[in-house]
Amino acid sequence: MPAFEGTPVRAPRPFRVMLDFDTGSLTPYTDSFERRLSDMAVAYEDQDAVAGLLSAGQDPVIYTGYDADVPHAADHLPFRTTIINPGVIGSEFFMTKGHHHRRDTAEIYVGMSGSGLMIMQTRDGHARSAELVPSAAVYVPPGWAHRTVNVADTPLVFLAAYPGDAGHDYESVERLGFSRRVHRRDGGYELRPAAAPDREFRAGP
Ligand code: PA5
Ligand code: MN
């Protein structure tokens, strides 16, 4: 038997999964994930609202998702569904944590149901947003951090596919925040500049 070093990468055969565009279920899936408010408390602007909910024992599920059985390795193309529940923290809509890819690689998002907004920004301060609705495909270029926000009162469901060696860097987004935030306003949404985009500054020293 030959000796192998590291984690062996399987050579999968072609396969298909079934997607439910309404619920976001991906069948069969290998992994699933769930993020509650307490997993991303620092992400929201209204820290009094966060503290109020958590101290009252309320820790809502913000989003869940399902991963297809694809190796996280170069040359592969992992894909997953995400379902963001409807809701607000203060007046800021439920959203994903958001991240940079560790290696600057692109990603493609496809809207399946509901209505959302993608917030994207570069490390040198450029910012863009794109509505994510059923049948829309949003291209996230290399080097753009991305966060997805549910701006409706129904679940936001979407599919995303990314290079297997992209990696997820949540730390820099947690530290610096996004420069734009999405709040509920008059039955719709409003995109606002973050009150304190420089989290390092706010946190000191
Ligand atoms: O690959 C992606 O960018 C998405 O599938 C996200 O991972 C997913 O929407 C969850 O968001 P986050 O990874 O920021 O928690
Ligand atoms: Mn990504």
Q: Is any atom of ligand 1 closer than 6 Å to the C-beta of 98?
A: yes
- Which DSSP letter does residue 140 get? E
Ligand lying closest to the C-alpha of residue 82: 1
Q: pLDDT by residue (tens digit) across 130-185?
A: 999 999 999 999 999 999 999 999 999 999 999 999 999 999 999 999 999 999 99
Distance CA 97, CA 145 (A): 11
- Is pTM beyond 0.75 here? yes
Mean pLDDT confidence for 40-58: 97
Res 201 pLDDT > 90: no
Percent of the chain having pLDDT more than 90? Answer: 88
Burial 7-35 (b: 16+ CB within 10 A, else e): eeeeeeeeeeeebebeebbbeeeeeeeeb
Radius of gyration of the chain measured on its C-alpha atoms = 18
Query: Residue 2: what pLDDT?
Result: 44
Q: Which of 112, 168, 178 to mutate to test the pocket of ligand 1 (most atoms within 8 A of CB)?
A: 168
Q: Whose CA is nearest to atom 5 of ligand 1?
A: 160
Q: Give residue 195's pLDDT.
A: 80
Strands 61-67 and 188-193: unpaired
| Protein residue closest via CA to atom 4 of ligand 1 | 160
pLDDT at residue 12 is higher than 80 = no
- pLDDT class of 9 with cuts at 50, 70, 90: low
Minimum CA distance residue for ligand 1 atom 9: 82
Q: pLDDT per residue over 99-115, tens digit each? A: 999 999 999 999 999 99
- Residue 3 has a pLDDT of 45
- In 3-state terms the chain splits into helix, strand, coil percentages (rounded to 5) of 15, 40, 45
Q: Is 162 in the pocket of ligand 1 (CB under 6 A)?
A: yes
pLDDT for res 203: 35
How would you classify the pairing of strands 26-27 and 31-36? unpaired
113-129 residue pLDDT tens: 999 999 999 999 999 99
Q: Reply yes or no on whether the pLDDT at 6 is more than 60.
A: no
